[in-house]
């Protein structure tokens, strides 16, 4: 399967949450293609630093706005039609689940509905960034898109899980009701430059702790697993879905499954740190296993991850080393 590039020079694309970790890399990739990109962010978790490299790029515009309130009609960059709308906005880290629960629910529900309405109006392709959290603490391993999940609807993580599940339902409702061209990507654990050091995710936490010579805090026994995907691979998968006619949902990630204990030990070794590994109480509803079944992504999109964990971690450690310096 070879997907030909559908969006490039002359196409206008809206990216919500554009100043965030993954979305800012998506913006870079779209600009490199020749697209005109408008990024919208309210900077609750996003950072203007993530887009500083595009400050003098004439095909790029950054608009400060909250898509939960709708797109501000007075901004000229938002007045023109978009060829594609990529809804990537949402706080997405474990610390955000506790501190920004209502914001997460609003952007997944109201924000999604506002953007779907705009996509219908513009006749745009609508791409939704969903999540492996839709599978909850899975009882099927690895997780195929056909698995409906095992989610606690009232747990502390539920604000993110259910916001994304609602967003998927809304996207499919607009697809069926209006014939809207949509694509849903379920993103698995992703890492790389531009992550927030304090966002509560394992890799930035472990790397910053190792670089500071602090103990690495592993939840529970550290036996729980995640499949870690370097951000460049994820972005390629997202753009393959954007270019395709696939509706999805389609999993995107890697099959590099690793326990949290093993990941912590590897990072200590790679940083040359003297840090020890300590164990702390595990959060409620923390998934035990997480690995995508990539059959659909391979067959429908020709997707294949290319960056090894060793290389991806090396690049990420280098980024945090420079940032902390």
Active site residues: 160
Residue 313, judged by CB atoms within 10 A of its CB (0-12, 13-18, 19+), counts as buried
For residue 225, give every residue at least 6 positions away whose Cβ sits within 8 Å of its Cβ, in sequence order, or none: 257, 258, 259, 260, 288, 289, 290, 291
Contact call for residues 243 and 211 (beta carbons, < 8 A): no
Tokens standing for 8? 């490039």
Contact call for residues 13 and 86 (beta carbons, < 8 A): yes
DSSP H stretches of helix in the chain? 21-33, 76-79, 94-99, 101-106, 112-122, 158-178, 202-211, 231-243, 260-271, 295-296, 309-324
Residue 136 is classified by DSSP as B
Q: Any idea which residue has 């953007």 for tokens?
A: 115
Task: Compute CA distances 190 → 207, 239, 273, whole Å.
Answer: 15, 15, 23
Give the integer Cα–Cα distance in Å for 183 and 133: 18
Q: What is the DSSP string of 105-120?
A: HHIIIIIHHHHHHHHH
Backbone angles phi, psi at 112, to 5 degrees: -65, -45
């Amino acid at each position: 399967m070879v997907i030909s590039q559908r969006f490039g020079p002359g196409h206008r694309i809206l990216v919500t949450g554009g100043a965030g970790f993954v979305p800012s890399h998506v913006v870079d990739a779209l600009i490199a293609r020749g697209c005109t990109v408008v990024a919208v962010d309210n900077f609750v978790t996003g950072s203007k630093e993530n887009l500083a490299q595009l400050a003098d790029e004439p095909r790029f515009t950054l608009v400060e706005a909250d898509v939960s309130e709708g797109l501000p009609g007075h901004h000229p960059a938002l007045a023109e039609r978009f060829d594609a709308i990529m809804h990537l906005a949402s706080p997405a880290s474990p610390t955000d689940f506790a501190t920004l629960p209502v914001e997460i629910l609003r952007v997944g529900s109201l924000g999604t509905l506002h953007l779907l309405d705009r996509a219908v109006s513009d006749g745009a392709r609508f791409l939704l960034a969903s999540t492996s959290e839709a599978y909850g603490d899975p009882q099927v391993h690895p997780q195929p898109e056909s698995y409906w999940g095992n989610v606690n609807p009232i747990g502390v993580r539920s604000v993110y899980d259910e916001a994304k599940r609602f967003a998927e339902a809304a996207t499919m409702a607009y697809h069926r009701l209006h014939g809207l061209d949509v694509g849903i990507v379920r993103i698995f654990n992703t890492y790389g430059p531009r992550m927030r050091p304090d966002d509560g995710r394992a890799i930035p936490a472990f790397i910053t702790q190792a670089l500071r010579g602090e103990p690495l805090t592993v939840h529970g026994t550290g036996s729980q697993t995640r499949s870690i995907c370097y951000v460049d691979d994820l972005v390629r998968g997202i753009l393959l879905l954007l270019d395709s006619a696939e509706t999805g949902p389609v999993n995107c990630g890697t099959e590099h499954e690793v326990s949290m204990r093993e990941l912590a030990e590897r990072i200590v070794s790679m940083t040359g740190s003297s840090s020890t590994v300590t164990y702390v109480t595990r959060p409620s509803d923390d998934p035990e296993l997480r690995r995508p079944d990539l059959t659909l992504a391979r067959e429908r999109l020709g997707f294949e991850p290319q960056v090894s964990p060793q290389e991806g971690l090396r690049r990420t450690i280098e980024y945090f080393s420079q940032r902390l310096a």
